[in-house]
């Protein structure tokens, strides 16, 4: 039976204390501030704080607020990691992000969408124009599941670079990577089942888990090593995990890339504990190395890894063209894909297939990777100079997302609200967890046109953070 909302909130705050987000003696957010952040009633927060007092986690000081007790007991592993269901807390955040992402006046640090200068817009424009002139009937034709054969053939060729030997029939075209992840979860789990996810996690995964009425176990993920495989082992031993969603290359939001040893170990764990690996490789092509990393699917000897990716981060976000390699779940996935979407737009599939075939993609990627590395260096230098002492950033080896860890005195939700007033968008860390973690973190997109206006916006974020430390 699910615990009451106030108890969930108490558990979340206790977890933050044990993780060192709130240090012994530190003041926690006021009742009204927590009520506003979590979008719950003041009475619910008061119940949660009262429970935390009973547990000896916090202590009320008259006229001053609530503070973490000086002497804290060390938590057990079961207190750190347990199945959780989404209570809807992140929805308001994401609605605001989507609204802000449509506003051209806002500097878009928040949305994980590259600006058009990093996309092959002109080449795609020529490809679409040529198709419309020479094959106008293409707009009238359905491309039923599993999708365009020419595109699937080109994807199979591209995936040779990741170590995969595939046939076009192994691939199903989807409406982006999010659709591929949804189809994967539907194929391997039913309502009430438990899924292991990285923490912090891509917010689209959290939403998919909620929509499908699944439970999530959040496994900590570090920028250096990626998902903690020791804790995944303990979780898989204790709970019946149906699947684990993992991003081995340039993880969103922290940019981690798994080592070769970790890749083999997580595959071995999935076999030993009988759970399906769902590989999200949407940033795989954007590695800063000359040669992209090998995919988990390439070493999938039992054909149980489900591979998901798309062209949304590297070619055309608006085309919404992704794909899935379902392995032994392929027939079921194709059935779900057909029922849900019937067909994928033919024009966009053909345009991307032509672009891949003419060899321009590799040139485009080389140029884009260099630009992202330049932007990353500039971004990190500005943060070091203008943000409060103690601010830390991840060190991504690919992609275009930076995870920023602020001092404990700086609240990312407050920063988010203040930044929007200055026409600056960012995505606070609370959007990347079901357990109200990462309240002093935010994700930053550096795939922007980096000019004086962008510089000024990042400096303003630093100034707003400095305000909170005074």
Q: Are residues 236 and 336 in the same domain?
A: yes
Query: Where is 154: in which H helix or E strand?
Result: helix 149-158
Rounded Cα distance, 273 and 26, in Å = 40
Cα–Cα separations (whole angstroms), residue 57 to 5, 11, 89, 163:
18, 10, 23, 50
Give the number of C-alpha atoms closer than 13 A to the C-alpha of residue 89, restricted to the C-beta side.
27
* Residue 83: inside a domain: no
* Residue 126: inside a domain: no
Q: What is the pLDDT of residues 161-216, one digit of tens each?
A: 999 999 999 999 999 999 999 999 999 999 999 999 999 999 999 989 988 999 99
At 20, list the tokens. Answer: 């060192």
Instruction: Tell me the β-bridge partners of 367.
Output: none
Q: Are residues 183 and 264 in the same domain?
A: yes
Query: Which CATH number do you get for residue 112?
Result: 3.90.1150.10
Q: What is the pLDDT of residues 120-134, one digit of tens each?
A: 988 888 888 888 788
Give the predicted TM-score (pTM) of the model: 0.81
Q: Are residues 299 and 382 in the same domain?
A: no
Count how many domains the chain has: 3
Kindly indicate the confidence band of residue 73, based on its pLDDT and cuts at 50, 70 and 90.
very low
* Residue 129: inside a domain: no
Q: Are residues 326 and 462 in the same domain?
A: no
pLDDT at 40 over 80: yes
Average pLDDT over residues 240-258: 96
The angle, 0 to 180 degrees and rounded to 10, between the axes of the packed helices 89-101 and 203-211 is 130
* Residue 330: inside a domain: yes
pLDDT at 294 over 50: yes
Q: Are residues 183 and 237 in the same domain?
A: yes
Q: Are residues 372 and 325 in the same domain?
A: no
Closest CA to 25 of 73, 51, 54, 58: 58
Closest CA to 341 of 150, 168, 175: 175
Q: Is 449 left (phi over 0), alpha (psi -120 to 50) or beta?
A: beta
Domain span at residue 11? Answer: 5-68
* Residue 331: inside a domain: yes
* Residue 215: inside a domain: yes
Other beta carbons within 10 Å of 103: 11
pLDDT at 69 over 90: no
Question: Are the beta carbons of 209 and 195 closer than 8 angstroms?
Answer: yes
Rounded Cα distance, 55 and 264, in Å = 41
Kindly indicate the confidence band of residue 100, based on its pLDDT and cuts at 50, 70 and 90.
low
Q: Are residues 60 and 173 in the same domain?
A: no
Rounded Cα distance, 264 and 269, in Å = 9
* Residue 76: inside a domain: no
Q: Are residues 270 and 315 in the same domain?
A: yes
Q: Which of 330, 358, 386 is the last residue of a domain?
A: 358
The more confident residue out of 436 and 323 is: 323
Q: Are residues 140 and 164 in the same domain?
A: yes
Rounded Cα distance, 424 and 444, in Å = 11
Q: What is the pLDDT of residues 356-395, one digit of tens each?
A: 988 889 999 999 999 999 999 999 999 999 999 999 999 9
Q: Are residues 394 and 324 in the same domain?
A: no
Q: Which of 333, 358, 383 is the last residue of a domain?
A: 358
Residue tagged 């400095």 (tokens)? 466
Closest CA to 408 of 24, 14, 8, 15: 24
* Residue 426: inside a domain: yes
Query: Which CATH number do you get for residue 38?
Result: 1.10.10.10
């Amino acid at each position: 039976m699910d615990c009451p909302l106030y108890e969930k909130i108490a558990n979340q705050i206790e977890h933050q204390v044990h993780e060192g987000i709130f240090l012994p003696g530190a003041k926690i957010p006021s009742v009204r501030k927590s009520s506003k952040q979590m979008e719950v009633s003041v009475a619910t927060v008061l119940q949660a704080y009262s429970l935390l007092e009973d547990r000896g986690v916090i202590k009320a000081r008259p006229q001053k607020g609530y503070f973490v007790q000086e002497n804290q007991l060390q938590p057990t592993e079961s207190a750190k990691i347990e199945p959780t269901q989404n209570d809807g807390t992140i929805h308001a955040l994401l609605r605001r992000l989507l609204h802000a992402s449509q506003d051209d006046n806002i500097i878009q640090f928040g949305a994980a969408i590259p600006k058009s200068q990093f996309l092959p817009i002109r080449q795609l424009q020529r490809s679409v124009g040529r198709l419309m002139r020479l094959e106008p009937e293409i707009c009238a034709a359905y491309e039923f599941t599993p999708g365009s054969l020419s595109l699937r053939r080109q994807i199979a060729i591209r995936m040779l670079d990741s170590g995969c030997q595939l046939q076009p029939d192994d691939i199903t075209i989807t409406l982006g990577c999010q659709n591929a992840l949804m189809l994967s979860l539907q194929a391997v789990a039913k309502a009430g089942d438990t899924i292991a996810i990285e923490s912090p996690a891509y917010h689209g995964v959290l939403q998919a888990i909620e929509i499908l009425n699944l439970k999530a176990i959040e496994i900590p993920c570090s920028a250096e090593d990626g998902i903690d495989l020791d804790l995944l082992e303990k979780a898989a031993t204790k709970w019946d995990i149906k699947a684990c969603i993992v991003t081995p290359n340039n993880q969103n939001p922290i940019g981690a890339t798994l080592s070769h040893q970790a890749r083999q170990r997580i595959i071995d764990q999935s076999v030993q504990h009988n759970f399906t690996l769902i590989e999200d490789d949407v940033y795989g092509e954007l590695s800063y190395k000359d040669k992209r990393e090998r995919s988990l699917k390439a070493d999938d000897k039992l054909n149980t890894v489900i591979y998901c990716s798309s062209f949304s981060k590297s070619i055309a976000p608006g085309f919404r063209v992704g794909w899935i390699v379902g392995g032994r779940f392929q027939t079921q996935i194709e059935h779900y894909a057909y029922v849900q979407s019937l067909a994928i737009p033919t024009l966009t599939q053909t345009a991307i297939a032509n672009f891949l075939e003419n060899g321009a993609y590799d040139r485009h990627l080389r140029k884009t990777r260099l630009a992202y590395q330049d932007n990353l260096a500039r971004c990190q230098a500005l943060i070091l100079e203008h943000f409060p002492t103690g601010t830390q950033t991840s060190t991504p080896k690919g992609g275009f997302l930076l995870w920023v860890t602020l001092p404990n005195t700086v609240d990312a939700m407050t920063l988010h609200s203040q930044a929007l007033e200055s026409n600056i968008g960012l995505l606070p860390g609370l959007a990347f967890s079901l357990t109200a973690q990462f309240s002093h973190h935010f994700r930053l997109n550096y795939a922007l046109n980096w000019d004086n206006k962008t510089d000024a916006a990042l400096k303003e974020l630093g100034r707003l953070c400095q305000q909170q430390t005074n």
